Structure 1
């Protein structure tokens, strides 16, 4: 799949691309005041929810198409571009008729290939930028599939938005960032414009700066952030929205990074460090190989003594002690817990193969 880089969008966009605006367009006055505040902060592309897919019926689902004339008015008044979410061909038709400049497909729509295909078909022959948010659950293939459907429909100005993933174990974030997934997406499609949505990842405004800075550090192409003139009175997602002034202050505090090294001395030093990392990684693999050899011996012992593969007390001990060891070595214990979950799962698989008399995969 080939996509256009930001500088070929024909909208005079430069990295980082910044999109900001209210979660929901509520009233003409709220929209006007928010846009005015954001324009004062240098924002030139406004986002606003017109149709809001909600988890349960009865929650505020957007004011609908009556907001489109209000959007047209602020576009003309302030000279801004405008982006909205679309979830079906009817939304697409109304958005195009209203002169909307940029569209995005939301996380709940991305999970449905039929819905994405209908949107793609409705956009055939239309030259408009369209972004795809990651699906609610961490499914990279589903995310890429949605992008491919748009590409096969002839759309060329395609991008992606990372808004985090549902994870019932996460108590800090509204949606877990799982940074490895957008990084893998960018690896597979290098020219794909990739934005970060810190609002939906964080769910709380005091988390937005750190999330946005991480996105900058990971070389994302920009941000899409929710901003409201009076966040505490917002009709939806009040806790994660910033005032225009607070949003502007956050932008000024973010540090941009260079994506490459021109200084040959720095480049040489970086390559030396990377070579050392490669060597350590090889040592890690050698240690894991030795560990798995011991696991196979344990499996043979359990088989000969008719013991179950999974021993709950042993697992509790491994899970606790490895995290304790990590903390004593100043390594993130939560990271180590995840690592040993994977290692333990593979250990169980190895022992199960031995128990069942299947040939071990080498």
Structure 2
């Protein structure tokens, strides 16, 4: 039996008592458990708005030492209190054997594995070994930080081989270098391929980490649901501006309620699914175009600085003529209209000139 067939065999759906199976699953709560009052205030507000599963990070992997790395085991007591006072299920992130045992001993219902951990087969095997004998626990695996579908599947397979059958994937996007629209690039084609390979695998979207900004949570969530994702895991904090971690991507419980209530659930996916996917690819291309243009304008500003320092005129007529001719020919080789590309490049060149002039005139006497 192949790995793929093994994963396809008997993974169970993500169903929970009290959670409507006919609607997308929503897991919400703060990035980090910071204090008992913060946890309980957030949980009670979310429960009032109908959220059934509360998430909070107890151990926080930080890029650099010195930042807030979570409250540790005492936060698990707060999750127990959330369950007692609201009846909500609880979820937290685990990254090693000790985390798994502590969370399970405290009655945490759902464990998720972060992107840094899922990229490490040694860490995944350690977690899998700790899960042996706990077959009824639900484990959600975020995609690795790098866009490697085989690594993602391999991480889930290790959990499966430990006897766990309630497994789901979380798509949170992929890390990239430099400045981008998203904190983590969606690269939607990867979860699409994951669904093609393992059709019965539940896939959730994490719009908080994908967007990195609270204003992107709604649009990303809608895109995920349009593409048939099974649910969302969203960061919500009672006072997000004062959060100790990832403040910009967290929303208040009331804001989350508004986002959820404005999402459109498609009832006829089978007739529009292909069109939605194609439109999603268009959106991805547009995002890439914007990022490339942003980098081009940054280079234009550097050129402007060079011309300022060397007292050069902005427009170099021969350079412009040569560039337009080259782009025209390249466009036709790629199956596009040369005239169309000339129009595009003319607009790009005009903006580049404007950027250079702004640099040259800065701090002018």
Shorter-chain TM band: 0.7 to 0.9
Among 324, 327, 333, the alignment partner of 1:317 is: 327
For residues 4-48 of structure 1, the C-alpha deviation after alignment (integer angstroms, 9 at most, x for no partner) is 1234x6675513000000000000110111011101110010000
3-state SS of paired residue (1:209): helix
Equivalent position of 2:311 in the other structure: none
Cα distance in 2 for partners of 1:326, 1:67 equals 62
Equivalent runs, 1:257-296 vs 2, <5 Å: 257-258=266-267, 260-261=269-270
Equivalent position of 1:157 in the other structure: 166
Equivalent runs, 1:43-192 vs 2, <5 Å: 43-126=51-134, 127-169=136-178, 171-192=180-201
Cα distance in 1 for partners of 2:129, 2:329 equals 50
Cα distance in 1 for partners of 2:63, 2:329 equals 35
Equivalent residues of 2:19, 2:52 under 8 A apart = no
Change (3 A) 1:69 1:320: farther
Among 243, 247, 252, the alignment partner of 1:234 is: 243
3-state SS of paired residue (2:39): helix
Cα distance in 1 for partners of 2:40, 2:125 equals 34
Moved over 6 A (4+): 313-316
State yes or no: 1:197 paired with 2:189: no
State yes or no: 1:25 paired with 2:29: no
Equivalent position of 1:282 in the other structure: none
Cα distance in 2 for partners of 1:224, 1:67 equals 20
3-state SS of paired residue (1:99): coil
For residues 170-209 of structure 1, the C-alpha deviation after alignment (integer angstroms, 9 at most, x for no partner) is 5100000000001111111111110000000000001111
Cα distance in 1 for partners of 2:199, 2:254 equals 34
Cα distance in 1 for partners of 2:14, 2:185 equals 27
Equivalent residues of 2:328, 2:339 under 8 A apart = no
Change (3 A) 1:64 1:249: same
Cα distance in 2 for partners of 1:162, 1:81 equals 21
3-state SS of paired residue (1:146): helix
For residues 74-128 of structure 1, the C-alpha deviation after alignment (integer angstroms, 9 at most, x for no partner) is 1100000000000001000100111000000100000100100110111011010
Cα distance in 2 for partners of 1:167, 1:327 equals 34
Change (3 A) 1:325 1:96: farther
For residues 206-248 of structure 1, the C-alpha deviation after alignment (integer angstroms, 9 at most, x for no partner) is 1111100000100000000000000000000000000000000
C-alpha displacement of 1:319: 10
Cα distance in 2 for partners of 1:163, 1:74 equals 26
Cα distance in 2 for partners of 1:315, 1:63 equals 61
Cα distance in 2 for partners of 1:34, 1:320 equals 56
Equivalent residues of 1:170, 1:176 under 8 A apart = no
Cα distance in 1 for partners of 2:165, 2:28 equals 23
3-state SS of paired residue (1:6): coil
For residues 143-184 of structure 1, the C-alpha deviation after alignment (integer angstroms, 9 at most, x for no partner) is 000011111111100000000001125510000000000111
Equivalent residues of 1:219, 1:259 under 8 A apart = no
Per the normalisation by structure 1, the TM-score is 0.73
C-alpha displacement of 1:59: 1.1
Equivalent position of 1:215 in the other structure: 224
The alignment's C-alpha RMSD in Å is: 3.0
Change (3 A) 1:195 1:317: same
Cα distance in 1 for partners of 2:247, 2:238 equals 11
Cα distance in 2 for partners of 1:201, 1:207 equals 9
Per the normalisation by structure 2, the TM-score is 0.72
Cα distance in 2 for partners of 1:220, 1:112 equals 25
